[in-house]
Each structure stands twice: as C-alpha cells, then as structure tokens.
Amino acid sequence: MIQTFTALPDNISSSDPRVVSAFGELNEFISGVNGHRILKRLACVQLLRVFQYVENIISSESSYGTLQQQSSRSNASITINIYKNPLERPIQKRYIVELKRTARV
C-alpha cells in the first residue's frame, strides 16, 4: 500500500511533482496520529528508498549538466530540501536524518 502510493517511475527528474507527492504521502504515514507503528516503520523504510532514488537522480542530473548545483551542497542535502520545502510545518534537517537512520536499523 505504501509503496503503491510512493513508487517513482524510471526516467523522472528531481523536479517532477511526483517526487514531492511521494515525499508528502510518506510524511503523512510517518507523522499520522492514528497510524500503526508498523506502518510508520514501513514508511520510514520506503522514505529511505525514495531518498536514495532521488539522490541518484540528482547525481545523474549533475553529471549530465541538467541540474545546476552549488559545489558545496551534497545530493543528500538537495533531496532533504525537496522533502521539506512543500510541507506545511517546518521540519529540521536533524529530524529527517533521524528518520533515515531509523529506517536503516
């Protein structure tokens, strides 16, 4: 169920609205008040997958010159900004890093 709503197709760009939509769906599962713990855990794991996928997209776009990136910003940092920009409430970068760490455990 979670993967159905958040799976990203091949040949997508990092600026595609489906990326933001996938992050939004995952955020709803993770921050949902009535969600079951197992759903939140699965959403964290899927979040990690989506983060890795988008980071790879950003890396490819940087290599091919389709993404103008500041040299001081990592792919992970850009992906975190994509995740947190459309959210209604501000989220600290530490929180997102912690979610990724939780997914790896």
Amino acid identity at 29: F
Q: Is residue 17 scored above 80 in pLDDT? A: yes
**Residue found by looking up tokens 């530490």 in the block:** 94
CA-to-CA dists, residue 55 to 52, 82, 103, angstroms: 5, 11, 16
Instruction: Please check whether residue 41 lies inside any domain of the structure.
Output: yes
Is 52 within a domain? yes
Q: Is residue 9 part of a domain?
A: no
Specify the pLDDT at position 95: 84
| Interatomic CA distance for residues 79 and 104, integer angstroms | 17
- Under 8 Å between Cβ of 25 and 5: yes
The number of folded domains in the chain is 1
Q: Is residue 33 part of a domain?
A: yes
pLDDT in tens, 41-97: 888 899 999 999 999 999 888 887 777 665 667 888 888 888 887 777 777 888 888
User: Are 12 and 5 spatial neighbours (Cβ–Cβ below 8 Å)?
Assistant: no
Q: What single string gives the DSSP state of each residue in 30-62? A: HH-SS--HHHHHHHHHHHHHHHHHHHHHHHHHH
Q: Which letter does DSSP use for residue 72 in this model?
A: T
- Domain with 19, as residue range(s), is 14-104
Q: Is residue 58 part of a domain?
A: yes
